Amino acid sequence: MNVRRLIPTAAVAGAVALGLTTLSACSSSDAAEGGSDGKLNVVASFYPMQFLAEEIGGSHVSVTTLTKPGTEPHDLELSPRQTGGLSDADYILFLKGVQPAVDDAVEQAGVKNTVDAAKLTTLENHGSEVGHDHGHEEEGEEHGHEGEHGHEGEEEAGLDPHIWLDPVKYAEVAEGVGKSLEKADPDHAADYRKNTDALVTELNALDTAYETGLKNTSTKTFITTHSAFGYLAERYGLTQEGIAGIDPEAEPSPARIDEIHSVAEESKATTVFFETLASDKTAKTLAKDLGLKTGVLDPLEGITDKSAGADYIEVMKSNLTALQKALGAK
Ligand SMILES: [Zn+2]
């Protein structure tokens, strides 16, 4: 179909006069959609969402990310321009529970094609060390009855959002993102389907590499500053001991430090992991006190020049290597 045939001659002449020559550069019916380049204007909240949008959207999408590379995403604040620009998006991909500021702004933007990745898989509660209430372990139980009646906000507060670090859950999210893009932009459904399949195949291969790579190890316990690896640990039979909590900048309590000391001794853990986007002071002090090594385990909340790989798949592979080394893989 030639889209120009549907446009009155006067309008075409006007568009050309205004320099909107992209109309003629577009090959098919997609000229009517999205921005002036005919691409679907996608806004992603932070790197793991960006990667999905780019891989699955391919050449049919133009992706903007709210979290700049190198910024710690959890306490991101949006500029008025970012908040205002959200309502111009054709499609928003975010993960509720990671960035409160984004959750609010997305809700207010009211964009029809808004996809919450948390709804495309199942979230779990990984205990008090991933919650916001360190040292208040009883709190959740006391208020448990409220959750039963569907006070969604309170229930979600205890749920761990770091699903992208489990290749299996991430693949589930990828499937859902693919379907939602097919719906948002049906003209390119076949390509979205194809790209989704290719990505899921890669994620399955990554899952197999983790499964076999972590099968036989001297210890199953790893210590990390940022408790981002709960789903990964569960998937591959490991135990994550988080020094602080979900907020990588939080200072651990002296009691938690004591606990980590005994855990490290009992589990024969060798390494204290820290991440690239947050301070490594706590990890280094603790490792020194315990006579352990330090290493980098990247929660993939952003990609920078310092990341141990150019994209999600590469960094996940280097995380696997780091885990194998720390756990004594045979
Ligand atoms: Zn995190």
Q: State pLDDT tens for residues 213-235.
A: 999 999 999 999 888 999 999 99
- Span from the CA of 1 to the centroid of ligand 1 (angstroms): 47
Task: Please state at what angle helix 47-57 crosses helix 312-327, rounded to 10 degrees.
Answer: 130
Mean pLDDT, residues 101-116: 97
Are the beta carbons of 283 and 243 closer than 8 angstroms? yes
CA within 13 Å, CB half, 128: 11
Are the beta carbons of 126 and 230 closer than 8 angstroms? yes
Distance CA 269, CA 310 (A): 29
Mean pLDDT, residues 291-297: 93
- Span from the CA of 260 to the centroid of ligand 1 (angstroms): 20
Token pair recorded at residue 206 = 């990554």
Are the beta carbons of 213 and 283 closer than 8 angstroms? no
Q: Please name the amino acid found at residue 159.
A: L
- Span from the CA of 14 to the centroid of ligand 1 (angstroms): 50
Distance CA 93, CA 198 (A): 20
- Span from the CA of 228 to the centroid of ligand 1 (angstroms): 5
Are the beta carbons of 296 and 273 closer than 8 angstroms? yes
Are the beta carbons of 128 and 139 closer than 8 angstroms? no
Q: State residue 36's pLDDT score.
A: 56
Residues within 5 Å of ion ligand 1, judged at the Cβ atom: 228
Does residue 155 register a pLDDT over 90? no
- Span from the CA of 4 to the centroid of ligand 1 (angstroms): 48
- Span from the CA of 309 to the centroid of ligand 1 (angstroms): 19
- Span from the CA of 170 to the centroid of ligand 1 (angstroms): 15
- Span from the CA of 270 to the centroid of ligand 1 (angstroms): 23
Distance CA 244, CA 214 (A): 24
- Span from the CA of 247 to the centroid of ligand 1 (angstroms): 6
Are the beta carbons of 167 and 201 closer than 8 angstroms? no
Does residue 277 register a pLDDT over 90? no
pTM metric for this prediction:
0.80
Q: State residue 13's pLDDT score.
A: 43
Distance CA 177, CA 51 (A): 11
Does residue 203 register a pLDDT over 90? yes
- Span from the CA of 133 to the centroid of ligand 1 (angstroms): 15
Separation in Å, CA 264 to CA 42, 288, 323: 44, 12, 15
The per-type count for the chain, helices as H runs and strands as E runs, is: 14, 8
- Span from the CA of 102 to the centroid of ligand 1 (angstroms): 14
